[in-house]
Amino acid sequence: MEIIIQPDAEAATAVASHIVSQLLRNKPNAVLGLATGRTTVGLYRVLAQMKLDWSGVTTFNLDEYVGLPPEHAQSYHTFMRENLFRHVNVSPENTHIPDGTSGNIVELCEQYETQIRAAGGIDLQILGIGTDGHIGFNEPTSSLASRTRLKTLTQQTHEDNACYFGGADKVPDHVITMGLGTIMEARQCLLLAFGAKKARAIASTVEGPITSINPASILQMHPKVTVCLDRAAAADLKRADYYRWAYANKPGWQKF
């Protein structure tokens, strides 16, 4: 894992946007795994401003709420449309988000996996992290080998997302999410976390044991993960000085 600690979210987002834009320039037909949530809003804004060519890019989103139609204000279809897709020249037919209204979720999940494979696999998976350590909506105790499937949200996630729905009890209970096994097959992962609320989950993910109680910890087994943090999200890392030093002293050929 490469841990990049920046003074604030804006600076950490700038590093992340550089990694994504470099991929899109080097591989115009890249397959991107996309995440939603507050953490990614700034990244998508910066990427949209960069005027990159998205015409050959294919995208797969991590997750969607079960029961929300694509046009629902809080669906991740709407989030992606508003925050990224309508600002760039991506072809709508190349964007994929699980359909939360599907009548056959098991089949839909299998199809999603097949579509990812048919696209050649994901080159770069963008990830946020929940305060409970979820990536995608792989909540604590998710199988570390899981594939795209239905999951039930924890009480913590209901509370974390209550502001969008006007109360924790109004947050949908179920979601469709790529599995941890699915995420682990991406060729590169880019995890972003900002703010003190994420500090504990980040410390467990980077320096704790690999355990399904903290699903993001499986990323320790991934050969190419970059973690972009602001100072607050890095606050509980015991080896922060080492990560800062390593980043500041990267060999020239390794620099972005």
CB nearer ligand PGA, residue 37 or residue 172 = 37
Nearer to ligand PGA, 5 or 201 (CB): 201
Q: How far apart are CA 111 and CA 178, in angstroms?
A: 12
The answer to the question of residue 205 lying near ligand PGA (CB under 6 A) is: no
In whole angstroms, how close is the CB of 39 to ligand PGA at the nearest point? Answer: 3
CA dihedral for 184, 187, 188, 189, sign (positive or negative):
negative
Shortest Å distance, C-beta 49 to ligand PGA: 20
Choose, from 64, 99, 123, 132, the residue flagged as catalytic.
Answer: 132
158 annotated active-site: no
Nearest approach in angstroms of CB 106 to ligand PGA is: 24
Closest distance of CB 8 from ligand PGA, Å: 16
Q: Which is nearer to ligand PGA, 46 or 244 (CB)?
A: 46
Q: Could you give the CA distance from residue 106 to residue 191 in angstroms, rounded to a whole number?
A: 28
Tokens read off for 27: 């591989």
Print the binding letters for residues 122-141 with ligand PGA: x by CB under 6 A, - otherwise.
Answer: ------xxx-----------
Identify the CA nearest to 66 among candidates 34, 109, 96: 109
Task: Select which of 64, 99, 123, 139 is catalytic.
Answer: 139
Per DSSP, the chain holds a count of helices (H) and strands (E) of 9, 10
Return the residues of window 13-42 that contact ligand PGA according to CB under 6 A: 37-39
| Active-site hit among 77, 96, 123, 134 | 134
For helices 38-49 and 9-26, what crossing angle results, to 10°? 50
Q: Does residue 33 contact residue 246 with C-beta atoms inside 8 Å? A: no
Q: In the complex, what is the shortest distance from the CB of residue 242 to ligand PGA, in angstroms, rounded to a whole number?
A: 26
Count of residues in contact with ligand PGA, rule CB under 6 A: 6
- Which of 58/177 has CB closer to ligand PGA? 177
Catalytic residue among 63, 123, 160, 230: 63
241 touches 29 (CB < 8 A): no
Least separation in angstroms between residue 164's CB and ligand PGA is: 9
Burial string for 45-68 (b: 16+ CB within 10 Å, else e) reads ebbbeeebebeebbbbbbbbbbeb
220-221-222 Cα angle (round to 5): 95
- 241 carries an active-site annotation: no
Restricting to residues 37-66, name those near ligand PGA by CB under 6 A: 37-39
Q: What share of the chain is helix, strand, coil (3-state, %, to 5)?
A: 40, 20, 40
Question: Nearest-CB residue to ligand PGA?
Answer: 37
249 contact partners, CB below 8 Å, separation of at least 6: none
Which lies closer to ligand PGA via its Cβ, residue 109 or residue 191?
191
Give residues in contact with ligand PGA (CB under 6 A).
Answer: 37-39, 128-130
Catalytic residues: 63, 132, 134, 139
